[in-house]
């Protein structure tokens, strides 16, 4: 279990993504493996911790027995019963050996539990990293798809000849309107010139009449 977890945790995720034809598919598969091993690791850690508790209990139990036999041996020797003291010490040695054996197993199990817990933490961290990578990959893919759609739309607009024809038609209509406006301005200019000419003739007639009156021609013509 530990070896498998170490292999998964030590894998270079960036390198794996660079080599993958489908990065999203690859990271999903990697996440699946990580999650499966995480569940197995939790079960293993729980079992190892349970075994550790049992070993610790056995160690404490036999150590307590060894201590009790030690006390009994001291009591027997104090009472002058050396034979009984020797028997108690023999039982004490047996219990101590059992306690020492369980202590060694407990310490080894404790070390294994610690390694499994550390591997569990690293595995959870790698899962979080892989999930972040997956979100980033999906975001990049969505952005790429959006950009491709925009480019296709822009390219399609460039090929719409109907829009070009409408633009040309609009230009021709504008030209006709401009010519009509020019003719209208010309017509208005000619009409104004005629009125100015008429006003000029009237002014000239008035001046001529005034001159005739001043020379008496107007009165003579009237008397005649």
Task: Output the pTM of the full model.
Answer: 0.53
To 5 degrees, how large is the angle CA 28–CA 29–CA 34?
95
2-159: CATH class:
mainly alpha
pLDDT, mean of residues 206-224 = 67
DSSP 1: -
Q: How confident is the model at residue 100 (pLDDT cuts 50, 70, 90)?
A: very high
Tell me: the pLDDT tens digits for 30-75? 788 888 878 888 888 899 899 999 999 999 999 999 999 999 999 9
H/E element, 115:
helix 82-158
Other Cβ atoms closer than 10 A to 112: 17
**pLDDT digit string, tens, across residues 27-36:** 788 788 888 8
Map residue 12 onto helix, strand or coil: coil
Q: Which of 30, 37, 39 is nearest to 11 (CA)?
A: 30
| Structure confidence at residue 224 as a pLDDT band (50, 70, 90) | very low
CA distance 51 to 58: 11
Rg (CA), the chain: 56
Report CA-CA distances (Å) from 8 to 24, 47, 116, 130, 131: 18, 22, 14, 11, 15
- Residue 155 token pair: 């390219």
Q: Which two tokens stand for residue 88?
A: 């108690």
| Helix (H) or strand (E) run with residue 180 in it | helix 161-214
Domain ranges for the chain, please list them: 2-159, 166-215
Tokens of 56: 């610790």
In this predicted structure, what is the pLDDT of residue 178? Answer: 76
Q: Can you tell me which residue has the tokens 């201590």?
A: 67
Residues 6+ apart with CB under 8 A from 32: none
223, pLDDT greater than 50: no
For the ranges 9-23, 94-108, 127-141, the one whose mean pLDDT is highest: 94-108
Return phi, psi of residue 22, to 5°: -125, 90
How much is the pLDDT for 103? 96
């Amino acid at each position: 279990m530990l070896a498998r977890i170490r292999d998964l945790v030590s894998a270079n995720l960036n390198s794996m993504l660079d080599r993958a034809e489908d990065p999203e598919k690859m990271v999903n598969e990697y996440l699946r493996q990580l999650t499966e091993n995480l569940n197995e690791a939790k079960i293993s850690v729980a079992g190892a911790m349970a075994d550790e508790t049992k070993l610790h209990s056995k160690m404490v139990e036999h150590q307590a027995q060894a201590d009790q036999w030690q006390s009994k041996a001291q009591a027997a020797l104090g009472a002058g019963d050396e034979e009984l003291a020797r028997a108690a010490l023999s039982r004490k040695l047996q219990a101590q050996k059992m306690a020492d054996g369980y202590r060694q197993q407990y310490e080894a199990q404790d070390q294994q539990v610690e390694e499994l817990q550390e591997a569990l933490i690293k595995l959870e961290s790698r899962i979080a990293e892989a999930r972040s990578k997956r979100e980033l990959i999906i975001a990049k893919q969505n952005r790429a798809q959006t950009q491709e759609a925009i480019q296709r739309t822009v390219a399609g607009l460039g090929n719409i000849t109907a829009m070009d024809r409408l633009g040309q038609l609009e230009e021709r209509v504008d030209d006709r309107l401009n010519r009509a406006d020019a003719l209208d301005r010309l017509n208005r200019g000619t009409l104004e010139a005629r009125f100015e000419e008429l006003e000029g003739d009237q002014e000239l007639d008035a001046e001529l009449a005034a001159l005739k009156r001043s020379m008496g021609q107007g009165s003579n013509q009237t008397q005649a």
